[in-house]
Structure 1
Amino acid sequence: MKTILITGAGTGLGKELALAYAKKGHTIILTGRRETPLKEVQELIRQNGGHAEVYTLDLTKQESVQKTVDTITDAHSVSYLINNAGAGCFGPLSDLAIEDIDLAVQTNVLGTIYLTKALLPHLLEQTEPKIMNIISTAGQKGKINESVYVASKFAVRGFTESLQKELEGRVTVTATYMGGMDTPFWDETDHIKDKSRLKSPQQVADTIIKHDTQLEINV
């Protein structure tokens, strides 16, 4: 069994991945900006007989990331990193607030890079280490009113594909492209008009886990 660190584990896909992997017997390191939803997921896992630990983490601050990673790896042998946390940024470019642009790029791109870099030396010491980056179909093609979000996901795609080559034979790196999911993103925007056609986070999580030995997963 592995110890799996999941970012954005308090809600949505991160929560469902945590619950599903815990049911398989893995130890889950739940991370996110807000402690309360992480604690709620931890309690659900414990009620089902699983094991999970909670660490708050601000991916946009490199020093915070490094400090938290040091704390986690002092107590746990993490062999699987799932970079799931993300920030949305939707609408015409001319209407986007600079604060929203910064948050999307800092969380989606820099946060993924910061955490992967901080944890990588530890991962390389483990048996069969893995990294999975949740990229979304926004990393595959341009979309109307998603220019900044798409740009951030294209960056994560390039980062992932490069790591696949750089770490080949040492760390398994998986790129996951999921689209059409009912995520908390949509609670604060009218970008998606009809959420009924979207897949649930649980459906997406089940598909990801079913195929997580692959280097590329399309959900």
Structure 2
Amino acid sequence: MNKTVIITGGGSGLGLALAKQYSNEFNVCLIGRTESKLQEAVRTLSQNNNRVSYQVCDAANYEQVQTVLHAIFEKESVHLLINNAGTGVFEPLNALTKEDIELMVNTNVYGTIYPSQAVFPFFKKQGFGKVMNIISTAGLRGKVNESVYCATKFAVRGFTESLVKEWEGTGIFPTAVYMGGMDTPFWDETDHIKDRSRLKSPETVAKMIFDQDDNRSEIFIDR
């Protein structure tokens, strides 16, 4: 059975670019909240030899994650989970609403922790697995108008670094990925990035990630 990669937030941006990259060699299952985006993503990837499927699931919803990921593992030989789902609201702290803060914490933190926890018993049973957490350089240093966004990414950095130690010797390899901003729809609703022409494309970043996916604990695209 061909191996399968699960990608959260796989309907657009880096998630879709990663799906294109990994589907050249593996089956891919996309996870996301918006079915129309997932359906379109599957259509764009249908020309590849490997199977691309999707499951509607909110990565920040504990019960949904447990149910959906368990179902995937029953049918697929999963070897890699890519926690790519993320969101950001880029404003001064005093301009953020309660909803803005909760959205970032839920999506970026819970949306990484819940899937990681859900796949662990399956990876442990099969004796091998990888969990790749897409963090960004916001997990390396603070930035203006990104206080809460950076806080969530620092949290995921600490979570991933802890898993590297916790899972040592289990055959399960956590990886933290740090890259700068990309020219994706992520920035469509904000003027936080003034000149998007200087940003890497998600396709470029996806290939760089794929080429360095060798069980290392950290991948640096930008610092």
Instruction: Determine if contact 2:4/2:80 at 8 Å carries over to the other structure.
Output: yes
TM-score of the superposition, structure 2-length normalised?
0.94
Q: Would you say 1:18 and 2:19 are equivalent positions?
A: yes
Instruction: Determine if contact 2:13/2:186 at 8 Å carries over to the other structure.
Output: no
Q: For residues 178 and 42 of structure 2, what CA distance do their matches in structure 1 show? A: 26
Q: Would you say 1:105 and 2:90 are equivalent positions?
A: no
The residue type paired with residue 203 of structure 2 is Q
Q: 1:50: how far off?
A: 2.3
Instruction: Determine if contact 1:59/1:115 at 8 Å carries over to the other structure.
Output: yes
- The alignment covers a number of residue pairs equal to 218
Gaps of 5+ in 2: none
The residue type paired with residue 213 of structure 2 is D
Q: Secondary structure at the match of 1:169?
A: coil
Q: 1:42: how far off?
A: 1.5
Q: For residues 167 and 201 of structure 1, what CA distance do their matches in structure 2 show? A: 30
1:1-219 paired onto structure 2 within 5 Å? 1-23=2-24, 25-170=25-170, 171-213=172-214, 214-219=216-221
Q: 1:44: how far off?
A: 2.4
Gaps of 5+ in 1: none
TM-score of the superposition, structure 1-length normalised?
0.96
Q: 1:211: how far off?
A: 0.7
Instruction: Determine if contact 1:19/1:41 at 8 Å carries over to the other structure.
Output: no
The residue type paired with residue 215 of structure 1 is S
Instruction: Determine if contact 1:77/1:126 at 8 Å carries over to the other structure.
Output: no
Q: 1:127: how far off?
A: 4.7
Sequence identity of aligned pairs in percent?
54
Q: For residues 94 and 177 of structure 2, what CA distance do their matches in structure 1 show? A: 30
Instruction: Determine if contact 2:175/2:217 at 8 Å carries over to the other structure.
Output: yes
Q: For residues 77 and 127 of structure 2, what CA distance do their matches in structure 1 show? A: 10
| 135-144 or 123-132, which deviates more | 123-132
Q: For residues 218 and 146 of structure 1, what CA distance do their matches in structure 2 show? A: 20
